[in-house]
Amino acid sequence: MKHAANAHRMAKEITSCPYCGAQTRIELAPDYAPKFVHCEACGARFIVERLAKGYQLLTVEEAPCCSNPECREQEMGGYDEE
């Protein structure tokens, strides 16, 4: 087993879509920020958040604001959409 120094690169994983359960590829952000990904099977958008060990998947409905890239953006930018 080799331990590659890849902390600053995107990590690719295969995971199960939280909506349809199909296997889909995701990329883990190098900066631990939550990120939207799209299921390759059903096209649903969900959130992958990198953790210190591994990652977690969140549906957009269940994600708290701090784990939702759009919500974070709005809070930081004060941007208001009606």
Contact positions toward Zn ion, by CB under 5 A? 17, 19-20, 22, 39, 41-42, 44
* Comparison of 22 and 33: residue with beta carbon closer to Zn ion: 22
Q: How far is the CB of 30 from Zn ion (least distance, A)?
A: 25
* Comparison of 21 and 30: residue with beta carbon closer to Zn ion: 21
19 contacts: CB under 8 Å, gap ≥ 6: 39, 42, 44, 46, 59
CB 46 within 8 A of CB 61: no
Phi, psi of 66 (to 5 degrees): -70, -15
Q: How far is the CB of 46 from Zn ion (least distance, A)?
A: 8
* Comparison of 42 and 65: residue with beta carbon closer to Zn ion: 42
Q: How far is the CB of 56 from Zn ion (least distance, A)?
A: 17
Rounded CA separation 14/54 (Å): 12
